[in-house]
Structures are given as C-alpha cells and as structure tokens.
Amino acid sequence: MASALDNPLLFLLALILFPLSVIAQTNGRISLGSSLSTSDNFSWVSPSGYFAFGFKPVADKNLFLLAIWFDKVPEKTIVWSAQRGNLVLYGSKVELKSSGQLVLSNNQGQEIWTAQVTNGSATSAAILDTGNLVLWNSNSGITWQSFDQSTDTILPSQILDMGTTLSSRETETNYSSGKFELRFQTDGNLVLYTTNLLTNYLYNAYWSSGTAGTDSQMIFNQSGYIYLRQTNGSVHNLTSGAIVSTTNFYHRATLDFDGVFRQYTYPKNGSSNRNWPAGSWSVVWSVPSDICMAIRDDFGSGACGFNSYCMIDETQRPSCHCPLDYSYFDPNNTFSGCKPDFVSQSCEPDGPGKDHGPQFQLIEMANTDWPMSDFEHYNPFNEDQCREACMVDCFCAVAIFRGTDCWKKKLPLSNGRFNSGVGGKALIKVPVVNSSSQFPFLP
C-alpha cells in the first residue's frame, strides 16, 4: 500500500490535519500562529521532554488549567499556571497569534488571558528545559517569560527580585490563590504571611529570613541550592545540608497549600534509583518546621480552619482535626474548619442546665490550646475553679487550664494546636447526651 509520502496530495492533506502545535516544535521553537486546544490532547514540550505546556484536566474531564508541568513525573506536577485557579471548559484554546501575543480564549472564543509582552512583539516561543516558557522577539530578546510570573513554585536557574510574591494554592487540588504568601519584600526580608483572601490584608508574619535592610536577589541555582545573594557580596543560604544533583533529580521549591515552603527532589530515573522513594517527591528542607506552632495571630483561623486544631503528623506535615462533637465544614477538605454538632448552652434563665440538671460536660484534651480566642483570664485559679467558671458561663466554649492560669474561650476558636510543648489541658464543653458517642482522633 502506498504511503502518504508517495502521494504529494496525501502528504499535503496529512500536514493540514496534523496539529500545528506539533509541527511548530520541530526545531524547539513555537512559531506564530501555533495553538493548542483542550480537544487536541497535545502540548508544547521542552527539548528534553522534562516539561510541557498546555491544557491539563483538573478534577473534571471537562475542566482544564493552562499550565506548565513536569511531563516525565507520573503525577505531572504543575509548576505554573495562567490565571491561577480560573479553569476553562472543553473547547478553549491558547494561541501564539500572528500579532505576537500569547492569548488564552475560552470555548466561546472570548480572550480571557494574555501574556503581557515587553520589548516589542514576540516572533516565537519555547518551553525550555528549565521549565520556563519564554516569548522571543526578532532579536532573540525575551519579551515575556513565566519565570517572571511565578505562582506557587520556583525552579532551578530561576531568580526572584525583591517585590516578588509566591501564593499558595487554596487546597491541594484547587489551584486558586490560597491564604498563604511568601513575600520577598523590598527591604530584603523573605517573609511568610497568612492573608485575608477577600482584601489581601496581611496578618502577622509566621516566618522570616531575618535579612531586612539588605538589597538582594533570591536565587535557585542550577546545582539545586536556594539562597539570598546580597549586593554587599554576602550569601544567606536557605537550602540546608547537602543536595542531590540536578542532573539525576528534578528539583522544585513550592509554597504548599498548608503554608509550608518546601524544597523537593524527584529521581529522574524513577523506580530505578533504589536509594530514593519511587513515585514520590522527597522533601529536602522546609520552613517553618512546625507551622501549627508558628502561626499566632489575633486575626484569621491559623494553620487550620476555625474550631479545629492542628498537629504535625508522622509525615511531618500539618493535619487538622475537630474536637469531640464537632465536624468538618467540608468533609473533603480537613483544612476547612469545624462546626459544633449541637446547640450551644442557652443563656436564658430557664435554659439547659438550669432546671433540668446538667446538660453539658467538659471533655479534657491534654497539650491542646486555642491561644487567641480568650475573653477572660483568671489567676491564681485551681482546676476546680476553672471548670466551674466555664460551666456556669453560657459564653464559655472551652477553658484552658495551665499551672494556676485559667482562660475562657469563645467561638469561633482560632489558631488551634496540639503539641507536647503546649502543656496544660483544654476543657471542651459538649452536651452530656453525646458523652457516649464515639470519640474522633484525640492526641
């Protein structure tokens, strides 16, 4: 049977039907007029094939994120995305237009995102082996690059200037901006903050590099080390200890959805590297070491949601739990906070506990606290006095007793944490009728 190469008409037809996105990458450069669609199942890849740019299905086969990802890592870990969590529907398209603009259009043909180029219009584009998507002008000058528009991740060879911000995801699977930010401030200090998502108001910092007062750049070098290089010649290292080679390992540093900034490695040969876990990213270092204890603020919920408490699990990551007779607002998101599964103690004279015997009790949880929800403090007090003070107060949801101190807490509870260093005990007020119910996880 004759092939398309034997028939010029068949060959021409094959070229017409073959996706332009693939043809455009034969020399590593993406030419003007090239496009990708959610329907063609293709992506633009780096020369080595390490990285890819295109549409990635997220959560639902009909929803897509325009993103860059590690293409040879099984889970296709995303390192950058356009429009963060604004997903597009099937039929959307990204195109390097003949005008030199990289444009994302939705399935109705409306342009919803454009790479804001400088130094003239782009004449070509490429996804580099560094994971950087670049647009070039006719003089091979960069007119736009994804490295200048970081979302939650940085990669080797990337340099951040002062004034740059990384924002966490909202959840592990929701790529919208979350409540944590890593800010490389204009004073030279690298700082982690929690934020109010509605107003972008910054709450108190929960970690900083302590380098304020020096002009510097944050560098993730090609050897896999992250450091602040200051204009006076000094270097402030962030990566701690020895690092594995970038030749044999993928590297990334991500401000994760849980508020911890972590540097990761992944063996390029996958399971063939017997000294490293197959099929997973390994943490090289992270800050802060215990985010449950690091966040302490008068505002916001803390590392976990309101009315929950945070603890570091066996994987050294924060996990969020509800007290007895409380349940998650969203069972699919344990960081969403908790709500009471009972009607609170009545403040009416004839309410529960007044004429019909005790309707509430105090359940103990050692080494647990919600330090920023106080409305009353007694000292000196013994435990019996602390218990009584909470039981007769309809506003008291929890009492904390430690030494000779007693604090009464109101809802919503914030900055909850469990840690052996907390000391004392939490006395949580719950209905007696549920006292025989199955306890959730208790430390």
Same domain flag for 260 and 350: no
- Could you tell me if residue 442 is inside a domain? no
Q: Give the residue from 287, 158, 286 showing the smallest Cα distance to 220.
A: 158
321 and 262 within one domain:
no
Q: Burial, 314: exposed, middle or buried (Cβ in 10 Å; 0-12, 13-18, 19+)?
A: exposed
Q: Are residues 331 and 422 in the same domain?
A: yes
Query: Of the residues 81, 107, 138, which one is the last residue of a structural domain?
Result: 138
Confidence at residue 280, expressed as pLDDT on a 0 to 100 scale: 83
Within a domain: 82:
yes
Question: Whole domain around residue 220: which residue ranges?
Answer: 153-289
CA neighbor of 73 nearest in space, from 301, 279, 221 = 279
Does residue 132 sit in the same domain as residue 222?
no
Residues 6+ apart with CB under 8 A from 417: 292, 293, 302, 303, 309, 310, 311, 368, 369, 370, 371
Strands 190-196 and 177-184: antiparallel
Q: Identify whether 300 is part of a domain.
A: no
CATH code where residue 160 lies: 2.90.10.30
The pLDDT, as a whole number, for residue 16 is 37
Is 357 among the domain residues? Answer: yes
Q: Is residue 259 part of a domain?
A: yes
Q: Which residues contact 225 (CB under 8 A, 6 or more apart)?
A: 237, 239, 243
Contacts of 289 (CB under 8 A, 6+ apart): none
284 and 170 in one domain?
A: yes
Count the neighbouring beta carbons within 10 Å of the beta carbon of residue 379: 9
- On whether residue 278 sits in a domain, the answer given is yes
291 Cβ partners below 8 Å, 6+ apart? 206, 258, 259, 260, 303, 310, 318
Query: In the structure encoding, which two tokens stand for residue 137, read together?
Result: 């002008």
Q: Are 283 and 264 within 8 A, CB to CB?
A: yes
Q: Look at residue 118 in the predicted model and tell me its pLDDT.
A: 83
**Residue 423 belongs to a domain:** yes
- Return per-residue pLDDT of the chain as tens, 443 residues: 344 434 444 333 333 333 444 444 445 689 999 999 998 889 999 999 999 999 998 876 689 999 999 999 988 999 999 988 789 999 999 999 999 999 999 999 999 999 988 877 899 999 999 999 999 998 889 999 999 999 999 999 999 999 999 999 999 989 999 999 999 999 999 999 999 988 889 999 999 999 999 899 999 999 999 999 998 889 999 998 889 999 999 999 999 999 999 999 999 876 455 566 666 899 999 999 999 999 998 899 999 999 999 999 998 999 999 999 999 999 999 999 999 999 989 888 765 445 445 789 999 999 999 998 899 999 999 999 999 999 999 999 999 999 999 999 999 999 999 999 999 999 999 999 744 443 444 45
Q: CA 68 → CA 126, 130, 266, 267, distances in Å?
A: 12, 11, 17, 19
d(CA 240, CA 85): 32
160 and 272 share one domain:
yes
206 and 100 co-located in one domain: no
Is the pTM of the predicted complex or chain greater than 0.85? yes
E strands present in 162-200: 165-169, 177-184, 190-196
| Joined tokens for residue 54 | 């295109």
Q: Is 171 found in the same domain as 266? A: yes
pLDDT for 441: 45
Which of these three, 110, 138, 166, is where a domain ends?
138
Sole residue written with tokens 């039981």: 391
Signed CA dihedral, 198, 203, 208, 212: sign only = positive
Same domain for 281 and 317, yes or no, is no
Query: The domain spanning residue 80 has which CATH number?
Result: 2.90.10.10
Domain boundary among 227, 259, 289: 289
**One domain, residues 252 and 336:** no
Q: Is residue 302 part of a domain?
A: no
**Residue 157 sits in the same domain as residue 285:** yes
Note the residue count of the chain.
443
Q: Are residues 29 and 128 in the same domain?
A: yes
Token pair for 88: 């597009």
Number of separate domains in the chain:
3
CA distances from 1 to 11, 17, 340 (A): 14, 21, 73
